[in-house]
Structure 1
């Protein structure tokens, strides 16, 4: 016997799974037709009380069904139990009826009305000349749950942001300049999983055309004589750093900020903080192309990939402590790398670096963060690496 509570669990699971499709594509009727497996004569005779309670519970549940919901009742005639009238099936005609049965009526009404409103908005601004990034119907279906789960204020912001962006393509302003109450850079970042794909489905491009703050690259002048205006520690966009008049004798690129801050004075040297894949922007700093450059990053998959990206722009880059010897000597300080770390060998690595990359996997999928290497050892290797850098006239 299927109880009303068990039926609600089934319908709730069905609603969660099918709601996105129902809101955008509609639903075949009825959306729910559940056999209730009424009791046999043996069950009635063995436990008439529980059977009576079961029928009573379904009568109570039936009174709460909307116009599109119904119970199918049938009479059963048994030789030893007489005639019993009992529910045999639960039928819910439309998604609204299923939502109401599991107390999600308001959720369904929001999902349905919002999907319809956004479909009209996106279709009315669709760029038919551009190849669609994603069909509007598919984009709405995939985000229907997130759309329905928004509180009303944030839904209105999503709708208004989409409408403004579609009316003002490629505006070239910062998010905080958008004339929409409550929409700023933080809001847009938080709701980008809705705004970005829905915009792309209509506009045919994944770019909203909004400006992003320029990434800053941090420098420390390890030689005070090179520091402009005695500013030994500064951060600026790559384009602005490129305009500086500086001719260092060597450049040390490090991945860890505390490593950058801890480096001692070194005659003729400038240190650069390459935070993660920001190293890809180093090629935009013109004077780095003329300076002997030493790279020291984390001994992990990402560290080698960043090194590859830097060397792809600055081919004269040399590395230090990016080898099997360093990893093996400090294996006790290493930990597991992330499980999804790509194992494809990066481009632009030397033979020693390729061997170090292979050692990561061979020694157990390890990563050795730069800051874990003992400081005295690191300084010794850095000075040795700097002493071996070729001069510009040797390239």
Structure 2
């Protein structure tokens, strides 16, 4: 991975792509998994002969989980390094910091992270789950199995606020109640989470919905455990707790808690097993394999498929081809919806076992069309078998 002069469409040099994943900071663990998935895809593409006989070369920087650094380094990639395609960002605050630069410089951002929806940019391809591919399924599952009294806890930035707003809407639709909503600064100390647990104790909810991210996730679950709560009587359900965050927790602390995502490391399909084995061979046997890593992996393959067909990394040409691309991803076949640049993904809900691994409890059975604005869905539209919107 190096910087240098860009290879134009007519040169014989490498296709150069920009990577912005944090190796340091509060979300480094999950972003490191995204980087690992991205580099694995690049390795596979190059081993198969590259794109039109040219290697794919990564120009990578560490933005340290800081939106200002993401913005600055995106400009460096597009202006100084001359790349047109950027793969990266985890927190929505970092995506929102990068997008104005990408739009101004006529670049294209591939964003491999679940997010709050309600956004469209001609210069962004969204390959993480939109709310209709995780939030609505999780809300339905929790209301049916645990009760309708929710307490919301989030990190203090844009995604948790917006995700909690969406979850609140779903809960209220089902005549449920949100008994409390608390936000904790990124990097907050253990004492801050202990205080939150006292508020939870006073509220007496049926379930906690967490949008806490990064290393703070381990503090939240530890505080829940230390307060004497159990997952049997008060589970934490989350969209942002992945294998990377569970790996930061002592054994048993996460057991019984719940996550919704399109991919888990424990999926037993041949494609998933091959991906996990290759990921760990490349990045280390103890490296967690997350849904964000899987999205980072398949989005690179989709992008390079489009590049193979167009012969140019010009964003408009790639976008025209991405709508026709599909890929047999570890989660199942994925593709990009041309109308909104979001990926068709397969929702799943899993519970963390005593072994610290996710065990799938519910599976939609097919990919779900992305509806980032939640225009048509409400809880009554999603039956138990998930077939109503499980479109293939």
Greater strand percent: which structure?
2
Q: Same fold (TM over 0.5)?
A: no
User: Which of these two proteins has the greater Rg computed from alpha carbons?
Assistant: 1
Greater helix percent: which structure?
1
Q: State TM-score, norm by structure 2.
A: 0.28
Q: State TM-score, norm by structure 1.
A: 0.27
